[in-house]
Amino acid sequence: MGDGNSLGTILGVWAHPDDESYLCAGLMARATRAGDRVVCVTATRGELGSPDEEKWPPGAPLAAVRTTEMEAALGVLGITEHHWLDYPDGGCAQVDQDEAVRRVAQVMAEVQPDTVLTFGPDGMTGHDDHKAACRWATTAFEQVGKPGAVLAYATKTADWNARYVSALDERNVFMGFTPPATPLDNLVVHEELTGDLLEAKLRALMSMPSQVMPLVDAVGLDTYREAMALEAFRRP
pTM for the model: 0.94
Q: Is residue 5 part of a domain?
A: no
Burial 72-96 (b: 16+ CB within 10 A, else e): ebbebbebeebbebebebbebeebe
pLDDT of residue 232 exceeding 80, the answer is yes
Q: CB-based contacts of 225: which residues, under 8 Å, 6+ apart?
A: 198, 202
Q: Is residue 127 part of a domain?
A: yes
Q: Is residue 60 part of a domain?
A: yes
Q: Is residue 34 part of a domain?
A: yes
Q: Could you read off the pLDDT of 62-78 as tens digits, one per residue?
A: 999 999 999 999 999 99
pLDDT confidence tier of residue 202, bands split at 50, 70 and 90: very high
What distance in Å separates the CA atoms of residue 116 and residue 203, rounded to the nearest whole number?
23
Question: In the chain, how many domains are there?
Answer: 1
Q: What is the pLDDT of residue 4?
A: 81
% of the chain exceeding 90 in pLDDT = 81
Q: Is residue 189 part of a domain?
A: yes
Residue 217, domain CATH: 3.40.50.10320
Q: Is residue 1 part of a domain?
A: no
- Which residues form the domain of 91? 10-234
Q: Is residue 4 part of a domain?
A: no
Please compute the mean of the pLDDT values over residues 126-149 and round it to a whole number.
97
Q: Is residue 163 part of a domain?
A: yes
